[in-house]
Protein backbone atom coordinates (compact mmCIF):
# COMPACT_ATOMS: atom_id res chain seq x y z
CA UNK A 1 0.00 0.00 0.00
CA UNK A 2 1.38 3.40 -1.03
CA UNK A 3 1.47 6.39 1.30
CA UNK A 4 -1.41 7.91 -0.68
CA UNK A 5 -3.48 4.75 -0.35
CA UNK A 6 -2.68 4.55 3.37
CA UNK A 7 -3.73 8.17 3.92
CA UNK A 8 -6.98 7.59 2.02
CA UNK A 9 -7.64 4.44 4.07
CA UNK A 10 -7.07 6.30 7.35
CA UNK A 11 -9.42 9.09 6.31
CA UNK A 12 -12.13 6.65 5.24
CA UNK A 13 -11.86 4.64 8.47
CA UNK A 14 -11.99 7.71 10.68
CA UNK A 15 -14.97 9.14 8.80
CA UNK A 16 -16.83 5.87 9.22
CA UNK A 17 -15.96 5.79 12.91
CA UNK A 18 -16.96 9.43 13.43
CA UNK A 19 -20.47 8.86 12.06
CA UNK A 20 -21.78 7.46 15.34
CA UNK A 21 -20.26 10.24 17.45
CA UNK A 22 -20.99 13.42 15.46
CA UNK A 23 -24.77 13.46 16.17
CA UNK A 24 -24.01 13.56 19.90
CA UNK A 25 -20.71 15.46 20.19
CA UNK A 26 -20.62 17.41 16.93
CA UNK A 27 -17.44 17.86 14.90
CA UNK A 28 -15.44 18.28 18.08
CA UNK A 29 -12.17 17.13 19.58
CA UNK A 30 -14.17 14.56 21.53
CA UNK A 31 -15.46 13.09 18.29
CA UNK A 32 -12.02 13.20 16.71
CA UNK A 33 -10.42 11.28 19.57
CA UNK A 34 -13.27 8.76 19.66
CA UNK A 35 -13.01 8.18 15.90
CA UNK A 36 -9.27 7.77 16.21
CA UNK A 37 -9.74 5.14 18.92
CA UNK A 38 -12.58 3.29 17.20
CA UNK A 39 -10.72 3.19 13.89
CA UNK A 40 -7.54 2.05 15.65
CA UNK A 41 -5.47 4.87 14.15
CA UNK A 42 -2.36 6.08 15.94
CA UNK A 43 -2.49 9.75 17.06
CA UNK A 44 0.43 10.71 14.84
CA UNK A 45 -1.16 9.20 11.75
CA UNK A 46 -4.53 10.76 12.57
CA UNK A 47 -2.97 14.21 12.90
CA UNK A 48 -1.04 13.70 9.67
CA UNK A 49 -4.32 12.96 7.89
CA UNK A 50 -6.25 15.72 9.68
CA UNK A 51 -3.74 18.39 10.84
CA UNK A 52 -6.45 20.57 12.42
CA UNK A 53 -8.32 17.64 13.88
CA UNK A 54 -12.11 17.80 13.87
CA UNK A 55 -12.47 20.69 11.41
CA UNK A 56 -10.46 18.82 8.78
CA UNK A 57 -12.50 15.70 9.54
CA UNK A 58 -15.68 17.70 8.88
CA UNK A 59 -14.26 19.03 5.61
CA UNK A 60 -13.35 15.49 4.57
CA UNK A 61 -16.96 14.47 5.21
CA UNK A 62 -18.19 17.33 3.01
CA UNK A 63 -15.74 16.44 0.23
CA UNK A 64 -16.80 12.79 0.36
CA UNK A 65 -20.36 13.94 -0.33
CA UNK A 66 -19.16 15.92 -3.34
CA UNK A 67 -17.40 12.85 -4.74
CA UNK A 68 -20.46 10.67 -4.18
CA UNK A 69 -22.63 13.24 -5.98
CA UNK A 70 -20.29 13.42 -8.97
CA UNK A 71 -20.11 9.63 -9.22
CA UNK A 72 -23.91 9.27 -9.14
CA UNK A 73 -24.42 12.02 -11.73
CA UNK A 74 -21.94 10.40 -14.10
CA UNK A 75 -24.01 7.21 -13.93
CA UNK A 76 -27.30 9.04 -14.59
CA UNK A 77 -28.67 9.54 -18.10
CA UNK A 78 -29.45 13.25 -18.37
CA UNK A 79 -29.82 13.44 -22.15
CA UNK A 80 -33.57 14.12 -21.98
CA UNK A 81 -33.31 16.85 -19.32
CA UNK A 82 -33.25 20.58 -19.91
CA UNK A 83 -30.26 22.44 -18.56
CA UNK A 84 -32.20 23.85 -15.59
CA UNK A 85 -33.43 20.34 -14.78
CA UNK A 86 -29.87 19.06 -14.80
CA UNK A 87 -28.86 21.75 -12.30
CA UNK A 88 -31.83 20.82 -10.12
CA UNK A 89 -30.91 17.14 -10.33
CA UNK A 90 -27.32 17.90 -9.28
CA UNK A 91 -28.37 19.85 -6.19
CA UNK A 92 -30.92 17.21 -5.25
CA UNK A 93 -28.38 14.43 -5.75
CA UNK A 94 -25.87 16.23 -3.52
CA UNK A 95 -28.41 16.12 -0.69
CA UNK A 96 -29.61 12.61 -1.39
CA UNK A 97 -26.14 11.09 -1.01
CA UNK A 98 -26.08 12.25 2.63
CA UNK A 99 -27.00 9.38 4.93
CA UNK A 100 -27.23 11.33 8.19
CA UNK A 101 -28.75 14.79 8.16
CA UNK A 102 -27.46 15.49 11.67
CA UNK A 103 -23.86 15.35 10.47
CA UNK A 104 -24.63 18.21 8.09
CA UNK A 105 -26.45 20.17 10.79
CA UNK A 106 -23.47 19.81 13.09
CA UNK A 107 -21.18 20.85 10.27
CA UNK A 108 -23.11 24.06 9.68
CA UNK A 109 -22.83 24.82 13.40
CA UNK A 110 -19.06 24.37 13.18
CA UNK A 111 -18.62 26.50 10.06
CA UNK A 112 -20.79 29.25 11.51
CA UNK A 113 -17.95 29.97 13.95
CA UNK A 114 -15.89 32.99 12.80
CA UNK A 115 -12.61 31.07 12.78
CA UNK A 116 -14.02 28.43 10.43
CA UNK A 117 -16.36 30.54 8.30
CA UNK A 118 -13.76 30.76 5.54
CA UNK A 119 -13.43 26.98 5.46
CA UNK A 120 -17.19 26.64 5.13
CA UNK A 121 -17.32 29.17 2.30
CA UNK A 122 -14.58 27.34 0.42
CA UNK A 123 -16.36 24.01 0.89
CA UNK A 124 -19.59 25.49 -0.50
CA UNK A 125 -17.72 26.99 -3.45
CA UNK A 126 -16.05 23.66 -4.23
CA UNK A 127 -19.45 21.98 -4.26
CA UNK A 128 -21.08 24.38 -6.72
CA UNK A 129 -17.93 24.47 -8.85
CA UNK A 130 -18.01 20.67 -9.06
CA UNK A 131 -21.69 20.78 -10.01
CA UNK A 132 -21.00 23.13 -12.91
CA UNK A 133 -17.93 21.16 -13.97
CA UNK A 134 -19.91 17.91 -13.91
CA UNK A 135 -22.57 19.55 -16.06
CA UNK A 136 -19.90 20.49 -18.59
CA UNK A 137 -19.56 24.22 -17.92
CA UNK A 138 -16.62 25.63 -19.86
CA UNK A 139 -17.08 29.36 -19.18
CA UNK A 140 -13.96 31.31 -18.31
CA UNK A 141 -15.34 34.86 -18.24
CA UNK A 142 -17.63 36.72 -15.85
CA UNK A 143 -20.18 33.91 -16.26
CA UNK A 144 -17.80 31.55 -14.44
CA UNK A 145 -18.24 33.64 -11.30
CA UNK A 146 -21.90 34.59 -11.65
CA UNK A 147 -22.98 30.97 -12.21
CA UNK A 148 -21.21 29.79 -9.09
CA UNK A 149 -22.26 32.74 -6.96
CA UNK A 150 -25.91 32.27 -7.97
CA UNK A 151 -25.87 28.51 -7.38
CA UNK A 152 -24.16 29.03 -4.00
CA UNK A 153 -27.20 31.02 -2.89
CA UNK A 154 -29.63 28.42 -4.21
CA UNK A 155 -27.71 25.52 -2.70
CA UNK A 156 -27.24 27.19 0.69
CA UNK A 157 -30.94 28.10 0.97
CA UNK A 158 -31.98 24.60 -0.08
CA UNK A 159 -29.75 22.96 2.52
CA UNK A 160 -31.26 25.12 5.27
CA UNK A 161 -34.77 24.23 4.13
CA UNK A 162 -33.86 20.53 3.87
CA UNK A 163 -32.50 20.45 7.41
CA UNK A 164 -35.89 21.47 8.77
CA UNK A 165 -38.00 19.49 6.31
CA UNK A 166 -39.91 16.56 7.78
CA UNK A 167 -42.11 15.86 4.76
CA UNK A 168 -42.15 12.35 3.34
CA UNK A 169 -39.25 11.85 0.95
CA UNK A 170 -38.33 15.54 1.44
CA UNK A 171 -40.98 16.45 -1.13
CA UNK A 172 -41.26 19.97 0.28
CA UNK A 173 -37.52 20.49 -0.17
CA UNK A 174 -37.61 19.43 -3.82
CA UNK A 175 -40.56 21.78 -4.42
CA UNK A 176 -38.59 24.58 -2.72
CA UNK A 177 -35.57 23.80 -4.92
CA UNK A 178 -37.73 23.88 -8.05
CA UNK A 179 -39.00 27.33 -7.10
CA UNK A 180 -35.49 28.65 -6.50
CA UNK A 181 -34.27 27.36 -9.87
CA UNK A 182 -37.36 28.88 -11.54
CA UNK A 183 -36.52 32.23 -9.91
CA UNK A 184 -32.99 32.06 -11.31
CA UNK A 185 -34.20 31.17 -14.79
CA UNK A 186 -36.74 34.01 -14.64
CA UNK A 187 -33.94 36.45 -13.83
CA UNK A 188 -31.85 35.10 -16.71
CA UNK A 189 -34.82 35.55 -19.03
CA UNK A 190 -35.25 39.17 -17.91
CA UNK A 191 -31.55 39.79 -18.45
CA UNK A 192 -31.81 38.41 -21.97
CA UNK A 193 -34.78 40.65 -22.70
CA UNK A 194 -32.88 43.65 -21.35
CA UNK A 195 -29.93 42.87 -23.63
CA UNK A 196 -32.30 42.90 -26.62
CA UNK A 197 -33.54 46.36 -25.60
CA UNK A 198 -31.62 49.06 -27.46
CA UNK A 199 -31.18 51.35 -24.42
CA UNK A 200 -30.86 48.81 -21.62
CA UNK A 201 -28.72 46.55 -23.78
CA UNK A 202 -26.20 49.34 -24.29
CA UNK A 203 -26.00 50.02 -20.57
CA UNK A 204 -25.55 46.33 -19.78
CA UNK A 205 -22.81 45.95 -22.36
CA UNK A 206 -20.95 48.86 -20.79
CA UNK A 207 -21.25 47.35 -17.33
CA UNK A 208 -20.19 43.91 -18.53
CA UNK A 209 -17.20 45.37 -20.35
CA UNK A 210 -16.06 47.09 -17.15
CA UNK A 211 -16.56 43.92 -15.12
CA UNK A 212 -14.73 41.80 -17.67
CA UNK A 213 -11.81 44.22 -17.62
CA UNK A 214 -11.41 43.38 -13.93
CA UNK A 215 -12.16 39.67 -14.21
CA UNK A 216 -9.74 39.28 -17.12
CA UNK A 217 -7.07 39.58 -14.45
CA UNK A 218 -8.56 36.69 -12.51
CA UNK A 219 -7.80 33.04 -13.05
CA UNK A 220 -10.74 30.66 -12.50
CA UNK A 221 -10.65 28.26 -9.60
CA UNK A 222 -8.58 25.16 -10.31
CA UNK A 223 -5.53 27.04 -11.56
CA UNK A 224 -4.10 26.54 -8.10
CA UNK A 225 -5.12 24.07 -5.40
CA UNK A 226 -7.64 25.48 -2.91
CA UNK A 227 -8.18 28.74 -4.81
CA UNK A 228 -11.43 30.46 -3.77
CA UNK A 229 -12.83 31.71 -5.98
CA UNK A 230 -9.79 32.47 -8.16
CA UNK A 231 -6.54 34.34 -8.04
CA UNK A 232 -5.31 37.72 -9.23
CA UNK A 233 -2.95 37.47 -12.20
CA UNK A 234 -2.11 41.15 -12.52
CA UNK A 235 0.48 43.25 -10.70
CA UNK A 236 0.35 43.32 -6.91
Q: What does the domain layout of the chain look like in residue ranges?
A: 78-232
Percent of the chain with pLDDT over 90: 67
* Distance, CA of 210 to CA of 150 (rounded, Å): 20
Q: Domain 78-232 belongs to what topology?
A: Tetracycline Repressor; domain 2 (1.10.357)
Provide mean pLDDT across the span 138-161.
Answer: 89
* Distance, CA of 155 to CA of 137 (rounded, Å): 17
Is residue 236 predicted with pLDDT exceeding 50? no
Is residue 203 predicted with pLDDT exceeding 90? no
End-to-end alpha-carbon separation of the chain, Å?
Answer: 44
Phi and psi, residue 159, nearest 5°? -60, -45
Per-residue pLDDT tens digits for 50-79: 999 999 999 999 999 999 999 999 999 999
Query: pLDDT at position 229, please?
Result: 46
Is residue 202 predicted with pLDDT exceeding 70? no
Percent of the chain with pLDDT over 70: 78
Helix (H, G, I), strand (E, B) or coil at 97: coil
Counting every residue written for the chain, the total comes to: 236
Amino acid sequence: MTNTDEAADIKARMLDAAAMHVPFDGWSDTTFKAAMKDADVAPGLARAAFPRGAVDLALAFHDSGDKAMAARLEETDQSSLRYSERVTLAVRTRLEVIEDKEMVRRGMTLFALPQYAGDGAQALWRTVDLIWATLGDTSRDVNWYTKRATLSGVYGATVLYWLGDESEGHLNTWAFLDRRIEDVMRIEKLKAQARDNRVLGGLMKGQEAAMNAILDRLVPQGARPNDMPGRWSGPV
